[in-house]
Amino acid sequence: MQEEIAIDPEYLKSRLKALLDIPSPTGFTDEAVRYTARELESLGLEIVLTRRGAIRARRSGAAARPARAIVSHLDTLGAQVKYLKDNGRLELVSIGHWSARFAEGARVSIFSGKGVYRGTILPLKASGHTFNDEVDSQPTGWPHVELRVDALARNRHDLGQLGIDVGDIVAVDPQPEFLDNGFIVSRHLDDKAGVAIMLAALEAMKRAKIETPVDTYWLFTIGEEVGVGASAALVPEVASLVAIDNGTTAPGQNSQEFGVTLAMADQTGPFDYHLSKKLYDLCGEHGLTVQKDVFRYYRSDAASAVEAGHDVRTALLTFGVDASHGYERIHLHALISLARLTIHYVASDVQIERDAEEVSGLRGFTHQKVQDAEQCLTVDEPDAP
């Protein structure tokens, strides 16, 4: 395989733009699934869908086992109608875990039984001319916001006449901006940027006619934001699963908006030692900027797969996101870096051949060899600059 992998940035950005244009809060993902499935077919992959719409696309390799899988999720954060209020507005509950602080002021679409309505999520006290300083002192949280529908809705009866009902899905506008300096600002970059990374990697592999030693499965899930993710997307041939999702660039975190951020653990525990090491080493071999991070309040498709009982090695590759689950920002450099690493990984040799079988004897089982570290510094040496 050629050393320098040419990822097409325009292809990546155009697919990300298209995905952001398709509303897909968890529970309302069909159109995003259809778009992604058609794109995968155009790239020459065999696809199947689960009953609810998770996508499993297979790209043939030299052998069927031990297959590798790459996964990202199509579903995003959103909201759902909790109650029709007497003032003609809507009480909401969140879909996925995100703060109502970031919902205030959002433009949204309400998918009712009679069609789509537009609206705005507002704090209960939204007018400074009426409430003065109370606008700033009121509490933050989902019980303290309401959805104003842009239709004649003076009371509960009017809302019912519009066809709006409890349980209706609310999609939040992404409001994307693609800046000339490479920064991308939008809601829902988690994880539509991950989907775009995978599509860009596949496009580059097709263009360069890259072959892989084993089959690779490219998975796109529809329930990650509510915790189910890849629980029902794997096949027995898959021995290792690499999730692509957002990292968190924030105080106390080591994630960056540039290069690859390799997650070593999340709230469910450490990722697989051998798979994570392989990914880190591949970055070094191919000149990819990489940093490691640990996430306290985070889970991904990898966690849902293991919790569902799949005995697979897992790892998590992330693109650093500033203000995750809010007004998110990423940089194209990270997206391209991850696409390149994904290709290097799926094209790399299989190191643990024993993984071809679901169970086997001790022969070929891995080692985690350690040796005593040498202390190179002495107390007489000055501090490093």
DSSP 59-114: E--SEEEEEEEEEEE--B-EEEEEEE-TTS-EEEEEESS--GGGTTT-EEEEEETT
Question: What is the bridge-based pairing of β-strands 78-84 and 313-322?
Answer: unpaired
DSSP code for 25: B
Give the C-alpha separation, 81 to 90, whole Å: 6
3-state DSSP helix/strand/coil % of the chain, to nearest 5:
30, 30, 40
Please give the Cα distance from 351 to 157 (Å, whole number). Answer: 65
- Residue 167, sorted as left (phi over 0), alpha (psi -120 to 50) or beta, turns out to be left
* Angle at the Cα of 335 from the Cα atoms of 318 and 180, rounded to 5 degrees: 135
CA–CA distance, 89 with 155 (Å, rounded to integer): 7
- Please indicate whether residue 224 is annotated as part of the active site: yes
Catalytic residue among 224, 225, 257, 328: 224
Strand segments (E) across the chain: 46-49, 55-59, 63-73, 78-84, 90-95, 107-112, 115-123, 145-149, 169-172, 177-178, 183-186, 214-221, 238-249, 260-266, 269-270, 290-294, 313-322, 328-331
Distance of alpha carbon 83 from alpha carbon 180, whole angstroms: 43
Separation CA 217–CA 234 (nearest Å): 8
- What SS3 class is residue 148? strand
Cis? peptide before 30, omega within 30° of 0: no
Which residues are catalytic, by number?
224
